[in-house]
Amino acid sequence: MRLEPFDTQRHMVFSRRATLFGGGATLLFLGLASRLYQLQIHDHVNYKALAEDNRFNQKIITPVRGEIFDRFGKPLATSRQNFRVLMVPEDAGDVELVLNEVADLLHLTDKDLKRIRKEAARQRSFTPVEIADNLTWEQFARLNFLTPQLPGLHSEVGATRSYPLAEAGAFVVGYVGAPNDRDLAKADDQEKLLLRQPGFRIGRAGIERTFEKKLRGEAGSVTVQINAHGRVIEEYPNLANEPVQGQPIGLTIDAELQAKASAILADVNDDGARLNVDKHELSASAVVMDVHNGDILVYASVPAFDPNEFNVGIKQSRWQELNESPLKPLLNKPISGAYPPGSTFKLITAIAAQEAGIEPSHRVTCRGSLWYGGVEFNCWKKEGHGTLDMRGAIKHSCDVYFWDLAQRIDIDKLAEVANRFGLGLPHDIGLGGQVAGTVPSRAWKKSYYRSNPAQQTWFPGETLSVAIGQGALTATPLQLAVMVTRLATGREVHPRLVRYQDGRGALDPVFQPLAMDLSELDVVRAGMDAVVNEWGTAARSRLDKPEWRMAGKTGTSQVRSLQYDPVTGRRLKNYELPWKDRDHALFVSFAPYDAPRYACAVVVEHGSSGSGMAGPKAREIMRAVLTKDPALKSAWSPPLKPVKTVSRARTDRPAGIEGGRP
């Protein structure tokens, strides 16, 4: 046995180095301790706040959309229960199996299935995917019978927009639709959360769109605790903000009359049959106003679409059908349809003539035509009307008489009077897509042909066309209703569509008298009376009750120049022409004659004859209006009721866009 002398040396080195490492380790431990001090003591408050941010989030509760009512409190847009079914892929396990089970029951198309699979693949597996909505009660019941056997499937009752008036209310109320990318791009972060809620809808057209802010209400929220994946662990209902339902909007519309008027417009009466009008060719619109406060009682346009179809997502084929129809069922005709007013404009010409110094007693002899500038202008009545004064000229709608006036009136004067009666200007009633129409004047022509100075000069011959409501002149049915309202009252009446908002009904406005000699209106009103009640052009549109005595004016405006038979050279009658070449039929009226309460404008596109197509419809509409006499009934205000909250979806949703890390 021997000692190992070399061991002494290496033992010394080992001891030194082990001490060194031990000291180093001690220092490192102290470093860790100081770091822990920094994290857990010094910066504790910061990290605590960050931890709270991690944990809590706001879950949006969708508000119930405000309802839209007619003037007597009938709902025009309301919320109904919507039965829908959602699937949580994580709970479902085998998604395909679940889809197979329900595909038949819910009539899922391949496209639906594709969308469901895509959403299920894209979202986190605990986020519900909508499988179908707007289920029938029977589907919903059968589905509830199935759900216990199919994990991950949840049936749910939500709120969906419903339009009781369907087609008849389409252009006033509008419709709602799902928010698109552009809506999302405009929204701030808080609003985005709301827009992304399943089934959330925003106003796309009509009052729904214009009053979106008021109808939407305020989103509520509930504080939820979430984990790193955004899964809701717990809800704190006592920390919730209840959602506020959107406010009710009351319109001036009378739902009952609106529906009646729509039916009358869509009806092919005896006159229609005589004029060779097919019911598939009826494209018409009507506006009825209360002449005193400007309330729009009827705002009808046919054909229309059913806004309920849009709400649930319209089928592509149906959309195409609506979009391509020559009857333009998507066009909001009362404000977006601009038509040559035809003879209805002669009322304006008569006033402009008086302001140009021509007395109503001014007489002109009509022999069926007038030569002007080397061109023969034909009156609508070939045989001529004989000698007429102004009232008679209105009664018989004599073209030659107004051509005679036109030669004595400056076009700018005519335009000024037209503007005064509401033509050529938009009327803000809260609906989008309104066109201003055209009232030609020298300035208008200059700006219209601004790229072509050679055509900017106004020729007196053009005034002749304008004077009888042709040429470049156009007006919308709403403008025509405003025009006849102002003629009936002599006041600057403005139309209105909304009479209740922000929790109160609007007062009846007081309109100023028009800035003119109101006696000029007498001959015009007398003429209109004669049109209907003295065997004038619209004698067949007379209302039977004497106290309803309606005054009116027909209009038949050319869509294109006169057509002649290529063989015989005979001028073709309207009913011999294809539908789209036929004249527009117009009728403006007010009643009762002695104390006007209602004004009405009816336009039947390509209806061939104002007296034949538009007059009788106006008569029926006015009969309905006068029978009910809504202006004399007090309008309704919605009762104050507690704010409703929507039933909360009992499903986990990612509570915030920021979420966690997948």
Partner 1 sequence: MKSVLLPEPRGSLLTAWQEINWPLVILLTLIAGAGTATLYSVAGGSWSPWAFQHVMRFTVSLLALFVVGFVPLRYWLALAYPAYAVALGLLVLVPIIGEISMGAQRWIMVGPVQVQPSELMKVAMILALARYYHGLEFKRVSNPIFLAPPLAMIGLPVALIFKQPDLGTALMLGASGVVVILLAGLSWRVTIVGMIAAFAGAVGAIKMGLLKAYQIDRLTAFMDPEADPLGSGYHLLQSKIALGSGGLSGKGFMQGTQSQLQFLPEKHTDFIFTIFGEEFGFIGTILLLSLYFAVFVTAINIAMRAKSHFGRLLASGLSISFLLYVLINTGMVMGLAPVVGVPLPLVSYGGTVMLTVMVGFGLVMSTWINRDQDTLRTASTIRSL
Count CA atoms within 13 Å of residue 369 on its CB side: 8
Name which of residues 216 to 275 contact partner 1 (CB under 8 A). Answer: 225-229, 233
- Single out the segment in contact with partner 1 by CB under 8 A; choices: 12-20, 129-137, 405-413, 575-583: 12-20
Taking CB under 8 A as the criterion, the residue among 41, 375, 454, 567 binding partner 1 is 41
Taking CB under 8 A as the criterion, the residue among 54, 180, 407, 519 binding partner 1 is 54
Complex with partner 1: residue 35 or 186, whichever CB lies closer: 35
Rg (CA), the chain: 36
Q: Are 424 and 415 in contact (CB under 8 A)?
A: yes
Question: Contact between 125 and partner 1 (CB under 8 A)?
Answer: no
Taking CB under 8 A as the criterion, the residue among 17, 186, 367, 560 binding partner 1 is 17
Number of H helices, E strands in the chain: 25, 21
- Shortest separation between residue 38's beta carbon and partner 1, angstroms: 9
- Shortest separation between residue 424's beta carbon and partner 1, angstroms: 59
Complex with partner 1: residue 229 or 633, whichever CB lies closer: 229
Question: Contact between 27 and partner 1 (CB under 8 A)?
Answer: no
Question: Contact between 656 and partner 1 (CB under 8 A)?
Answer: no
- In 416-491, beta strands by DSSP E: none
* Gap between the Cα atoms of 275 and 406, Å rounded: 31
Complex with partner 1: residue 48 or 504, whichever CB lies closer: 48
Question: What is the pattern of x (binds partner 1, CB under 8 A) and - over residues 560-599?
Answer: ----------------------------------------
Would you call 363 helix, strand, or coil by DSSP? coil
- Single out the segment in contact with partner 1 by CB under 8 A; choices: 26-34, 71-79, 109-117, 430-438: 26-34
Count CA atoms within 13 Å of residue 250 on its CB side: 19
Complex with partner 1: residue 35 or 279, whichever CB lies closer: 35
* Gap between the Cα atoms of 631 and 294, Å rounded: 11
The secondary structure of 511-573 as a DSSP string is PPBPSS-TTHHHHHHHHHHHHHHSSSTTGGG--SSGGG--EEEEEEE-SSS--B-TTT-PBPP
- Shortest separation between residue 34's beta carbon and partner 1, angstroms: 10
Complex with partner 1: residue 222 or 423, whichever CB lies closer: 222
Count CA atoms within 13 Å of residue 140 on its CB side: 14
- Single out the segment in contact with partner 1 by CB under 8 A; choices: 41-49, 191-199, 312-320, 426-434: 41-49
Taking CB under 8 A as the criterion, the residue among 35, 114, 118, 382 binding partner 1 is 35
**Upstream peptide bond of 495 is cis (omega within 30 degrees of 0):** no
Q: How far apart are the first and last CA of the chain?
A: 69
Name which of residues 529 to 548 contact partner 1 (CB under 8 A). Answer: none
- In 138-231, beta strands by DSSP E: 153-162, 175-177, 202-205, 220-226
Complex with partner 1: residue 6 or 137, whichever CB lies closer: 6
> Considering only CA atoms, which of 259, 258, 277 is closest in space to residue 268?
277
Question: Contact between 657 and partner 1 (CB under 8 A)?
Answer: no
Complex with partner 1: residue 56 or 636, whichever CB lies closer: 56
Question: Contact between 23 and partner 1 (CB under 8 A)?
Answer: no
* Gap between the Cα atoms of 466 and 604, Å rounded: 20
- Shortest separation between residue 3's beta carbon and partner 1, angstroms: 7
Q: How many chain residues bind partner 1 (CB under 8 A)?
A: 45
Contacts of 359 (CB under 8 A, 6+ apart): none
* Binding positions for partner 1, rule: CB under 8 A: 1, 3-4, 6-7, 9-11, 13-15, 17-18, 21-22, 25-26, 28-29, 31-33, 35-37, 39-41, 43-44, 46-48, 50-51, 54-55, 225-229, 233, 660-661
